[in-house]
Structure 1
């Protein structure tokens, strides 16, 4: 990390941190970022959250349950030059945004949340294990600027840990390291972000994590992985994978059995999925609930393609605890695996042995997908948000649903009297009992 750049970033963002702390006590959401441009050339991006927030993960400043999406923060961004930051499991179809483009992204962990804007990390929620990266284990109930990281491209929040990727291609991890998910060759907690010193050549371009394992992809498409394994093979390393401790491996190791360069990776509860540069899906690990989509329950460490998807181009993967989603290049959502909480969206609670189209969304052009442990979400090209699965804790953002919602339902947003127009959702992230989205709101 270049210290002059870090000092410059801290100086320019200190006033935003002060403003957010003062505004958190009022109903009006704080403005965490203001573009250096004229007012008529800016648009408002709004961060909204809903679900259970007893640990502060909703960002509203109090212990609460939000029945429907409610604003957490506003960002005044340039209308013509902002983009979504890198998303775990999603391969870039277009060249990377210009260096001057503002990138914004969300992530939800087990009980914590984060926002990246202009390379800076805002993070909040439960602090156990040091997962917030401030040097302590206290919770934070409002978005708070982390001064120990800067120049970020992507963040992936896990169960009790967090992972970040910088624009220089460096990976930092922090939080609870008991299962090796931090990749530092040790198994204790890290209260501050710490650089992962992998054996890879070149730089990292993509990261992903889950409850207890983490993955990173190099510029040349090599996949490195570390964390908990315990016999189900989710690391994809096979016999003789190296030293470990209590079922975990805290040394980044190359997945050697992948014959093609990898563009994106997604870490599920006990399995892993990877996308090749041409959009082919490979996966490995546990399969007792048909998570691998091969038509049987035979799992294993060795990466293999999904037979029914060999002629299907995939642009994004999303992994839940025991289920999987894939987004095709023609805007269709596929799902498979465990369906007991309705998370597959097929109108039943049956398991699905092979990938199947979510027919309730077939009339929409889907551009973004997300999974929680037992829930799912999709965003359409015109900014509508659909959710389905486990509806406990109001995690689906739709009051009055039964505990199991097995068909996608559109999430409706309450219109705020704030001079802004309707919500056009751009992305969504799901945690253990809460969710967030990023929505564009033009002036009325």
Structure 2
């Protein structure tokens, strides 16, 4: 999904096309979900953001109100926020700098799970998509096809992370809430049943939690002091990193948050893959552990294990990973990928897997500012505001019509009259941000964020026009 920014309070409509429609007429403007009030902010001037989505939306995760497949990016919702807003950086593996209350009055963030999506604006949560397992947190299991405010979270949220059949939220007090399907201990409540409403996770950590991450069935939380706590599913692959006697119980998981004591250094960010986990230090050193049958750990072999180890060939990095695929970029803005490449998602113009991190040569002349990975597709945004995507295109999730089912090299996504974009990955639908002018200033300021899922894209970024 994406957001478009303008210095106006008027929602902006744009042309979009639907695979199941023959007409190309412009639809009605997307709804205004949140509007800035100058009385509650130091900034009197506002900017308009638009959230976009495309690809497969069979469970309503596109947010357009129906089950559909969108060939092109189309607007879902509009936000009017103060100019001094900030974008939430609760992104797997994303290092961020905290802002004081005087620097940013309103935070905006997005996340994608398995067939559900979420948007946080000024501490409030809008969520939509498939409702099985209670993952939407409305007290029932019904699906919701448009962004809907969840009234069951009374505290102000800092960020969210959506998993397979569950969801996790972090509030401004450093508390963690989870809800949805509780199988394998994914919720961290020392039980294995579902929770239809958000429930506080009472972990054994000292102090506040500052970062959260999740995947299909396991979850991680980081304290301000850099300690990593983890819980959820572990089928003997070691993805929890807890070691002998501290791993899964008879139910195939660990339902109690447990510290990963084998990490010898403080952690700044974490990312949960399908069967493995990664942690990033403030110095930019990447550590990982868990399953390695598809070279997910990037060590040149298929030997996995529970004990965290550094990736020797990578230093000074930021990263984003999901499932069998790993893509990251170093601070010099070069992109590397490794792991399973069966859908072309590594971007090396082939379907071969990669045993160790290798540069994405097609992006060698581009300075990558952000990346997002799905289970079988990937996205990159450059400092010039260009959006590139590659991998599985079977459900139009790359946003470029006419492609074969597999696109093994990065291709630029051109849409909305050449406007620039920012993007992130979800399950079967991408999301994107666009503007009628370059977004270079926003990229330089790092006022943007992305979220990863399995086959879809989500993105939020401000653009000064």
TM norm structure 2: 0.85
Judged with a 3 Å threshold, the aligned counterparts in structure 2 of structure 1 residues 396 and 165 are, in CA distance, closer, same or farther, namely same
Q: Structure 2: where are the runs of 5+ without partners?
A: 1-26, 420-434
In 2: Cα distance, 1:377 partner to 1:235 partner: 27
Q: More deviation in 243-252 or 320-329?
A: 243-252
TM-aligned CA deviation for residue 249 of structure 1? 0.7
Answer yes or no: is the 8 Å Cα contact 1:375–1:388 preserved in 2: yes
Query: 1:1-400 alignment to 2 at 5 Å?
Result: 27-37=28-38, 41-92=45-96, 94-98=97-101, 100-149=104-153, 150-241=155-246, 244-309=249-314, 312-315=315-318, 317-400=319-402
Q: Is the 2:321–2:327 Cα contact (8 Å) retained in structure 1?
A: yes
Give 3-state SS (helix, strand or coil) of 1:307's partner. Answer: coil
Out of 414, 417, 421, which is 2:416 matched to?
Answer: 414
Moved more, 345-354 or 238-247: 238-247
Contact 2:84–2:106 (CA under 8 A) maintained in structure 1: no
Instruction: Give the number of the structure whose residues are more often helix, by fraction.
Output: 1
Structure 1, 150-159 or 26-35: larger mean CA deviation: 26-35
Q: Indicate if the aligned counterparts of 2:234 and 2:247 stay in contact, CA closer than 8 A.
A: no
**How far apart are residue 439 of structure 1 and its match?**
4.6
8 Å Cα contact 1:120/1:151 also seen in 2:
yes
CA–CA distance in structure 1, aligned partners of residues 269 and 342 of structure 2 = 28
Q: Measured at CA, do residues 242 and 363 of structure 1 come closer, stay the same or move farther in structure 2, by a change above 3 Å?
A: closer
Q: Distance in 2 between matches of 1:81 and 1:271?
A: 34
Whole-angstrom CA distance in 1 between matches of 2:101 and 2:365: 33
- Further displaced range: 126-135 or 365-374: 365-374
**Deviation (angstroms), 1:142:** 0.4
| Structure 1 position 271, deviation (Å) | 0.3
Post-superposition offset of 1:423: 7.7
3-state SS of 1:236 partner: coil
1:43 Cα deviation (Å)?
Answer: 1.6
Secondary structure of residue in 1 paired with 2:133: helix
- SS state of the match for residue 392, structure 1? coil
Equivalent-residue separation in structure 2 for 1:383 and 1:293 (angstroms) = 29
Kindly indicate whether the alpha-carbon contact (under 8 Å) linking 1:294 and 1:354 is maintained by their aligned counterparts in 2: yes
- 2:92/2:321 contact within 8 Å kept: no
Change beyond 3 A, Cα 1:275–1:416: closer
Q: How many residues align?
A: 412
Report the Cα distance in structure 2 between the residues aligned to 1:55 and 1:371, rounded to whole angstroms.
20
User: Cα gap change, 1:144/1:281 in structure 2, threshold over 3 Å: closer, same or farther?
Assistant: same
Deviation at 1:97, TM superposition (A): 4.7
Provide the rounded CA distance (Å) in 1 between the counterparts of 2:294 and 2:247: 29
| 8 A contact 2:92–2:451 mirrored in 1 | no
Alpha-carbon distance between aligned partners in 2 of 1:442 and 1:421, rounded to the nearest angstrom: 9
Distance in 1 between the 2:410 and 2:226 partners?
34
Query: Would the aligned equivalents of 2:118 and 2:127 in 1 still touch at CA under 8 Å?
Result: yes
- Give the TM-score, by structure 1 length: 0.88
- Tell me the distance in 2 between the aligned counterparts of 1:97 and 1:355: 36
Higher mean C-alpha displacement, 397-406 vs 255-264 = 397-406
CA distance in 1: counterparts of 2:248 and 2:361, whole angstroms: 46
Question: CA deviation digits over 1:186-219, x for unaligned, max 9?
Answer: 0011000011111111110100000000000011
What is the alpha-carbon root mean square deviation over aligned residues? 2.0
- Find the residue that maps to 1:295 and give its secondary structure: coil
Moved segments of 4+, more than 6 Å: none
> CA separation in 1, counterparts of 2:321 and 2:308?
16
Distance 1:64 1:347 in 2: 30
The Cα of 1:382 is off from its aligned counterpart by 2.8
Q: Is the 8 A contact 1:211 1:269 kept in 2?
A: yes
Q: CA deviation at 1:86?
A: 2.5
CA contact 1:379–1:428 (8 Å) conserved in 2: no
Give 1:37 shift.
3.1
